[in-house]
Amino acid sequence: MEAAANYIAGEWVGASQGAEDINPSNTRDVVGVFARADIEDTKRAIAAAKQAFAQWSRSGIQQRHDLLKKIADEILARKDELGRLLAREEGKTLPEAVGEVARAGQIFLFFAGEAVRIAGEKIASVRPNIDIEITREPLGVVGVITPWNFPIAIPAWKIAPALAYGNCVVFKPADLVPATAHALAEIVVRAGLPPGVFNLVMGRGSVVGETLIKHPDVAAISFTGSVATGRQIAADCIAGMKKFQLEMGGKNPLVVVDDADMSVAVECAVNGAFFSTGQRCTASSRLIVTEGIHDRFVQAMTARMKTLVVDDALKAGTQIGPAVDRSQLDQDLSYIDVGRKEGAQLAAGGGTIERDTAGFYVQPTLFTNVRNDMRIAREEIFGPVAAVIRARDYDEALALANDTSFGLCAGICTTSLKHASHFKRNADAGMVMVNLPTAGVDYHVPFGGRKGSSYGPREQGRYAAEFYTTVKTAYTLA
Ligand code: NAD
């Protein structure tokens, strides 16, 4: 099988090395073989982007709007087919995957609109006869480095604003999901961007990613991925004086208080903790439950978990697909072992599952009697494993919710306006959900967290301009 090529300087370019892309629901199914770029390929992509920037940054906003709209239209028209590819490659269920593709299309549509709404300010000077204008300008070459768990939505929410505001892009997708990245690149290229404005460079983080981060001609890095990689990127970007934004892990709390509607609480917890196989940075991995509802909640959760269908991501009726690969499955199982050894009680799940096809299937797993200082309550597992932590009352639940090194999303299930309002004000997180799962957000409003979860300006919505533009203040003698 010939390796699918990278897109560099306006051409599809093969590589001496290729890597197989394996379906995690059925490891005998090879989705494709994809080129692995080397350092030279990456440098050529950066050079092409740098060269293209001079013209692209001055391109008309109507042109940028039309190109982004064209990309959006094709993504939306092909959402079922692209969703199937995404589910086959990443392992989320077909409805989840089709939903993610539709979201990517909406994001391109949103930023097509933003391209013609780029605004500045005219402000009075404190000195006589002087005009002041504040304008937004693009940054230059932006390196886009993305994780495997949202193979099209995350690239979309970085590439679309980067292009809308006049930047050129070198896109490095995660190694595990090149097929979706390649399909997205084909659509972007077909829209007719000038050569060099957009480049796809598939390959290793230690090769392509590091070259991007350390290259002096890359003005900014937008990264989503793990905390460990994010910290490394931050250090390198500071050394090179680059602008950067990091979206990293989570250990998101869902607080369930005595007055919660039980069915709402259980659905929020099941969705937030287990859907997408728990492989979401916004997953509810800590369920903090107050005394008066604790035992009934655990009983209702374990009953509901018995009904969950874990199977091939492409099968009709599957609610939870496999782990993305062997190494993620091993990580899930190793944390389950850690939980047992720490003295938490296994209330449901805890092992792998056999299905018709050889895949990385793991049972949705619930631990009870978890203390917030246990590793399973502090470290991101990134699998369908949730920890129930008992709290005396709302105040203790809030304190436990905030006692974490992360701060991406925090949720509460309650029928009390008092608790809902207090929680919205006092949860130490970038996003707060009331009677909703911690995972599942809109595409037109800011996304991001606090503490160890995020660094730099927010992504998505109009707030994306903060990262993808830089502000200029011009003074004119009138
Ligand atoms: P990862 O950090 O292993 O990889 C992310 C990307 O960085 C990949 O493209 C990878 O190839 C690249 N990379 C790896 N080493 C690099 C290096 N030294 N230099 C430059 N690039 C390098 O993360 P992952 O396993 O792909 O994704 C899972 C993680 O992503 C989880 O921690 C999850 O919470 C996080 N995530 C966060 C958000 C968010 O918005 N906060 C969203 C989705 C996923």
Sequential DSSP letters for 101-139:
HHHHHHHHHHHHHHHTT---EEEE-SSTTEEEEEEEEE-
Closest C-alpha among 316, 290, 319 to residue 306: 319
- The residue contributing the CA closest to ligand 1 atom 35 is 225
State if residue 283 touches ligand 1 by the CB under 6 angstroms criterion: no
Q: How far does the centroid of ligand 1 lie from the alpha carbon of residue 4, in Å? A: 23
Q: How far does the centroid of ligand 1 lie from the alpha carbon of residue 212, in Å? A: 15
- The residue contributing the CA closest to ligand 1 atom 18 is 206
> What phi and psi values does residue 259 have, to the nearest 5 degrees?
-90, 15
Catalytic residue among 247, 380, 409, 459: 247
| Residue 92 structure tokens | 């989320």
Instruction: Tell me the mean pLDDT in the region 190-216.
Output: 98
Answer whether residue 423 shows pLDDT above 80.
Answer: yes
State if residue 307 touches ligand 1 by the CB under 6 angstroms criterion: no
Confidence of residue 2 (pLDDT cuts 50, 70, 90): confident
The identity of residue 204, as a single letter, is R
Q: What predicted TM-score, i.e. pTM, was given to this entire model?
A: 0.97
Give the position, in ligand 1's atom list, of the atom nearest the Cα of 204.
11
pLDDT of 31 reads 98
Q: How far does the centroid of ligand 1 lie from the alpha carbon of residue 249, in Å? A: 9
Confidence of residue 66 (pLDDT cuts 50, 70, 90): very high
State if residue 51 touches ligand 1 by the CB under 6 angstroms criterion: no
Q: Mention every residue, 6+ apart, whose C-beta is less than 8 A from residue 93.
A: 87, 313, 318, 319, 320, 321
Reply yes or no on whether 281 is catalytic.
yes
Q: How far does the centroid of ligand 1 lie from the alpha carbon of residue 227, in Å? A: 8
Give the position, in ligand 1's atom list, of the atom nearest the Cα of 249.
34
Dihedral angle computed from the Cα positions of residues 93, 97, 103 and 105, in that order, rounded to the nearest 10 degrees: -160
Reply yes or no on whether 247 is catalytic.
yes
Q: Where are the beta strands (DSSP E) in 181-308?
A: 198-200, 220-224, 243-247, 252-256, 284-290
| Residue 171 structure tokens | 């896109």
pLDDT of 206 reads 97
pLDDT of 16 reads 86
Give the position, in ligand 1's atom list, of the atom nearest the Cα of 228.
2
State if residue 370 touches ligand 1 by the CB under 6 angstroms criterion: no
State if residue 209 touches ligand 1 by the CB under 6 angstroms criterion: yes
State if residue 226 touches ligand 1 by the CB under 6 angstroms criterion: yes
Distance separating the N- and C-terminal Cα atoms of the chain: 66
Whole-number percent of the chain with pLDDT over 90: 99
Q: Mention every residue, 6+ apart, whose C-beta is less than 8 A from residue 179.
A: 4, 21, 31, 32, 34, 85, 88, 89
**Average pLDDT of the chain?**
97
pLDDT of 282 reads 98
Whole-number percent of the chain with pLDDT over 70: 100
pLDDT of 403 reads 98
The Cα 452–Cα 446 span in angstroms is 17
State if residue 446 touches ligand 1 by the CB under 6 angstroms criterion: no
Catalytic residue among 168, 237, 268, 281: 281
Give the position, in ligand 1's atom list, of the atom nearest the Cα of 212.
20
> What phi and psi values does residue 309 have, to the nearest 5 degrees?
-100, 110
State if residue 382 touches ligand 1 by the CB under 6 angstroms criterion: yes
